[in-house]
Chains A and B, each alone.
Chain A
Amino acid sequence: MPDDNLSPCEVEGPSAGPPFMTSLDGSRPGATSVVTAATAPYPVVVVDPAGRVVELNDAALALLPDARTEQPLPSPGWLAAVQRAPDAVTATGTVGSRSFSAHPSLLPGGGTAWWLVEETAYRSATEELKAERERARFLTEASTALLASLNLDRCMEITARLAAEHLADAALVISPTRAGKLPAVICDHEGRVTRTTIPAQAEAVPGLAEALRGFPPVPSRWIDPASASDWLIPEGFGEVGSLVVTPLPGHGVAAGALVLLRRERQRRFSESEEAFAGLFAARAGAAMSAAWLYAEQNTITDILMRDLLPPSLRQVEGVEFAGGYRASVDTDRIGGDFYDVHPPSEDCPETLAVLGDVAGKGLEAAVITGKIRNTVQALLPMADDHARLLRLLNNALLGSGSIRFATLVLASTHRQGRDVVLRVTAAGHPPPLIVRRDGTVEEADTAGTLIGALPAIDSRSAEVRLAPGETCLLYTDGVTEAKGGPLGDAMFGERRLKRALAECAGMPAEAVVERIQMLADAWIGDGRHDDIAVLAITAPGGAQLSAVDGTTPGRRTA
């Protein structure tokens, strides 16, 4: 490089590069300092207006060994391009593995000095921060989405979708089962989520069997993508470039495995990406495990509760039965009230309807209702003699050591022509109400001792005959003792129940039950209440509803 070319280059202040460089043009008053490119602590390249290199300092030469004076800069391309451009503007780019920003200073002679400031560390720190923020945001989003559902299938779908959107081109979530094919969810490269099953021979894919058993993941670089089974690859995906298999750790057991797939032309999974996939898998695994536990608990509860739920009723031997139930805790499905309808059998020629109320509320009372219902079922052959059945039931309850007592009503029914004949017995329970065709309401003349409290009990049965369209209503005191009303302080009471029933002449059993339940419900409003059970026994058919006018005087709104 000829020495005479090493003239000091003056650089213009405001548009100049690094801020510590004070420089001058003649128009500005004040101190003057002159910096030569040769002594600058940055790589400096001076080019003439035609873009040919005029001068390079040592730092620039070390950075750009291909640069020659009198020639345009051969590389890097981004710097060569801005140097050829008519207006000099700051540009950034890489040289080898390092990042630089190039700041132009216009020289009086028409040339430009380019100051190259290294930004490698700054850039990688910003990029890492950005990546970290994206990961944190993704993990938050993933946690929110995964926490929302307690359904295993949904959790698998969410896991597959999130993984395919953020971590790979396609993702496969596999859930372990005890036997047979493994349920799996695939989210393909176009975002389509598909449920499928895969063969149980997970050994076909390296690392999958280990992941499904909860062993640490096999590093991606050890897995040959070509060994991936066909069922692993979504349709139309093409060649697999790289593959990650990560276990989904559950609560104590493996919740499954997550397989991430990248297509051939994509970059391979880096170690940090694999580690991050592990973080995501930990969250997904916990969510899937919670969903699995929830389903398991629900199955157990359902099985245990199956016999405690009120049965669904229908017409039996030409008699309509309908029941309605509301537990004292609105989110419960069972409580201390119960009803059953036993159709006739070899040992018991009549249909037996039972409705009762165990002292107390909630699950514990419900368990006692289960015992009573089972005992009554066993005693069905004695149903022709209510007093005897109640005596045996009383003994059974006293003998079981249960401290709870119960009240109940038995109603044996059979058809006689178009009429229905009932034998009803109330044991410590409000007597059933009968609504006649003309809307009169009667109480069945029956009474008796409650069950499970005293060693000796007695009871008196009543015979009731229902003409078509007439109904006999069995109910628990949850109806009559419901507190509320428009002013909030009154009991629903027997009078209101009877008046409501009077309007139900000629109605089908379901409609009677619905009407009474709805009135009680409206009466209670948001207030507290006891368990409520009603059971209607109706002689079907024949009523002329239009003959009954149920509008109540003074009623102004719905």
Chain B
Amino acid sequence: MTTTPASDRDEEPARHQIGSRLASARRDERAVAWADKLWNSVRAADEHSALDVVGNARAAGLAAETVLLEVIGAVQHRVGVEWAANRMSVVEEHAATAINDRVIAALSADRPATFLGRVTVACVDKEWHALPARLLAETLRLRGWQVGYLGAQVPTAHLVSHVHRTGADTVCLSAALSTRLPMAHAAITAVQAVGTPVMVGGLAFGADGRWARRLGADAWAPEARAAADRLAAGPLPRPRAPHQAVDDLPHLSDQEFTLVTRTSRTLVRETLQGLEQRFPAMSGYDDDQRERTAEDLAHIVEFLAAALYVDDEDLFTHFLTWTGEILTARSVPARSLLPALDLLAEQLRDFPRARGIIAAARGTLA
């Protein structure tokens, strides 16, 4: 027999818990040394020694959740840092993730017999970074929740169908890239329309979860432990009545997001041609280099569209600042992004919000 909570007529003040960072100070200092050991195994792509490290850490008395979040999670975090600093390739990142994934599978043997309720954990459509969601799913399992883990890039229709089938009490959605925010919003709205509250997490929603709030999520958590603590603290408030995306984001009716998204490939092509005219050196690029540049421009346009979607120039500025750091780590001056921004702004002269966003980012880079 399970108990779902009383109707939450008077829980309105609790509604905006998004953004209130839940303390996650419970750190086990012993975990650091184990994380270093696991890092070495993962770096050497040595699955067996990675499994040994985790087994030994458990045998040494580390809690399963600590191993999950402070050993494996720490290693995964380091993978991202090392990649950004150009000390690790994208491919090595995949390999490291694959090994961490196997290690998690080996760890998930012990589960408590309690039943706290049903939770569905999924990545937003098009989102490939599944490990943060996996860590959350395993953490929740360890704490006694029945978890439906759907993995990476879950089409919203699948997600909603899963919620109907299982009658999950809560859906946890993860996204790493802010360009997934429009997709995330569609998923949040669709799940809420079923009457199920949604908690979101991941870097896509901003370090302080500000875009989670803007997209109308029922809760936000900065990391897996905070998310599990939030669920342990009691059920999320019942979501609002079914509504349309534009009700949350009235600025969308100016069509800037729609038009930029729909013409993104033209924008990329014209910007590329403009760059080639301005910089004769680019005519010496081979097809691959040209394609790389076009991919980079496509990224810039995607982030611009996401910034238009949530109507926040910070999203675009953050992305470009971060890109600038990546470039600097690869010995390319961040200022090399400026001509592309100028060309984009020129093409978007009838889009006041887009121009404002580009101008703000330009100011930060210059």
Which residues of chain A have a CB within 8 Å of any CB of chain B? 144-145, 148-154, 157-158, 161, 165, 190-196, 291, 294-295, 298, 330-331, 333, 485-488, 503-504, 506-508, 510-511, 514-515, 518, 521, 540-541, 543-546, 548-558
Docked-complex contact B298 and A507, CB < 8 angstroms:
no
Docked-complex contact B165 and A331, CB < 8 angstroms:
no
Tell me which of B1, B89, B95, B272 contacts A549 (CB under 8 A). B89
List the 10 closest A-B pairs by CB distance, nearest first. A550-B89, A486-B294, A550-B91, A151-B167, A511-B98, A488-B265, A554-B292, A150-B164, A511-B94, A191-B6
Chain A nearest Cβ from B92, distance in angstroms: 5
Interface centre among B6, B163, B272, B326 (most CB of A within 10 A): B6
Chain A nearest Cβ from B251, distance in angstroms: 22
Tell me which of A294, A333, A546 contacts B44 (CB under 8 A). A546
In the complex, the chain B residue whose C-beta lies closest to that of A490 is: B291
Question: Can you spell out 9 A-B residue pairs with CB atoms less than 8 angstroms apart?
Answer: A195-B2, A486-B265, A508-B45, A541-B47, A548-B89, A549-B89, A550-B89, A555-B330, A556-B296
Docked-complex contact B44 and A508, CB < 8 angstroms:
no
Tell me which of A294, A486, A507, A541 contacts B91 (CB under 8 A). A507
In the complex, the chain A residue whose C-beta lies closest to that of B3 is: A194
Chain B nearest Cβ from A83, distance in angstroms: 42
In angstroms, Cα B6 to Cα A190, docked, is 7
Docked-complex contact B97 and A511, CB < 8 angstroms:
yes
Chain A nearest Cβ from B122, distance in angstroms: 14
Chain A nearest Cβ from B359, distance in angstroms: 20
Known contacts A331-B158, A510-B101; decide if A554 and B242 are in contact (CB<8 Å): no
Tell me which of A190, A518, A546, A548 contacts B128 (CB under 8 A). A518
Residue B332 interfacial (CB < 8 Å): yes
Docked-complex contact A194 and B1, CB < 8 angstroms:
yes
Docked-complex contact B90 and A486, CB < 8 angstroms:
no
Docked-complex contact A556 and B293, CB < 8 angstroms:
yes
Docked-complex contact B292 and A485, CB < 8 angstroms:
no
Known contacts A144-B241, A486-B294; decide if A557 and B91 are in contact (CB<8 Å): no
Residue B107 interfacial (CB < 8 Å): no
Q: Mark B110-129, 1 if CB is under 8 A from A, else 0.
A: 00000000000000001010
Residue B77 interfacial (CB < 8 Å): no
Chain B nearest Cβ from A168, distance in angstroms: 15
Tell me which of A193, A518, A551 contacts B3 (CB under 8 A). A193
In the complex, the chain A residue whose C-beta lies closest to that of B94 is: A511
Docked-complex contact B269 and A487, CB < 8 angstroms:
yes
Docked-complex contact B167 and A153, CB < 8 angstroms:
yes
Known contacts A191-B7, A515-B91; decide if A557 and B299 are in contact (CB<8 Å): yes
Docked-complex contact B6 and A149, CB < 8 angstroms:
no
Give every chain A residue within 8 A of B126 (Cβ-Cβ).
521
Chain A nearest Cβ from B4, distance in angstroms: 5
Give every chain B residue within 8 A of A291 (Cβ-Cβ).
164
Tell me which of B4, B242, B293 contacts A193 (CB under 8 A). B4
Chain A nearest Cβ from B240, distance in angstroms: 11
Residue B268 interfacial (CB < 8 Å): yes
Give every chain B residue within 8 A of A543 (Cβ-Cβ).
45
In the complex, the chain A residue whose C-beta lies closest to that of B272 is: A487
Chain A nearest Cβ from B100, distance in angstroms: 11
Chain A nearest Cβ from B320, distance in angstroms: 10
Docked-complex contact B164 and A508, CB < 8 angstroms:
no
Chain A nearest Cβ from B159, distance in angstroms: 11
19 more CB-based (< 8 A) A-B contacts, given A195-B1, A545-B45, A555-B292: A144-B241, A148-B195, A191-B6, A192-B3, A193-B6, A194-B3, A195-B2, A331-B158, A486-B268, A486-B298, A510-B102, A514-B94, A550-B89, A551-B89, A552-B292, A554-B288, A556-B296, A556-B332, A557-B323
In the complex, the chain B residue whose C-beta lies closest to that of A156 is: B167
Docked-complex contact A486 and B7, CB < 8 angstroms:
no
Known contacts A507-B45, A554-B293, A555-B292; decide if A196 and B128 are in contact (CB<8 Å): no
Give every chain A residue within 8 A of B336 (Cβ-Cβ).
556
Known contacts A151-B163, A503-B91, A552-B292; decide if A331 and B157 are in contact (CB<8 Å): yes
Give every chain B residue within 8 A of A298 (Cβ-Cβ).
161, 165
In angstroms, Cα B102 to Cα A298, docked, is 31
Docked-complex contact A295 and B165, CB < 8 angstroms:
yes
Docked-complex contact B294 and A511, CB < 8 angstroms:
no
Give every chain A residue within 8 A of B297 (Cβ-Cβ).
486
Interface centre among A190, A195, A330, A545 (most CB of B within 10 A): A545
Residue B86 interfacial (CB < 8 Å): yes
Docked-complex contact B164 and A151, CB < 8 angstroms:
yes
In the complex, the chain A residue whose C-beta lies closest to that of B156 is: A331
In angstroms, Cα B158 to Cα A167, docked, is 36
Chain A nearest Cβ from B299, distance in angstroms: 5
In the complex, the chain B residue whose C-beta lies closest to that of A197 is: B1
Chain A nearest Cβ from B261, distance in angstroms: 9
Interface centre among A165, A508, A543, A544 (most CB of B within 10 A): A508
Tell me which of B128, B164, B195 contacts A521 (CB under 8 A). B128
Give every chain B residue within 8 A of A554 (Cβ-Cβ).
285, 288-289, 292-293
Known contacts A554-B292, A554-B293; decide if A331 and B7 are in contact (CB<8 Å): no
Docked-complex contact A545 and B92, CB < 8 angstroms:
yes
Give every chain A residue within 8 A of B341 (Cβ-Cβ).
none
Give every chain A residue within 8 A of B91 (Cβ-Cβ).
503-504, 507, 511, 515, 548, 550
Chain B nearest Cβ from A239, distance in angstroms: 23
In angstroms, Cα B298 to Cα A557, docked, is 10
Complex interface residues of chain B between 321 and 339 (CB less than 8 A to chain A): 323, 326-327, 330, 332, 336
In angstroms, Cα B297 to Cα A510, docked, is 30
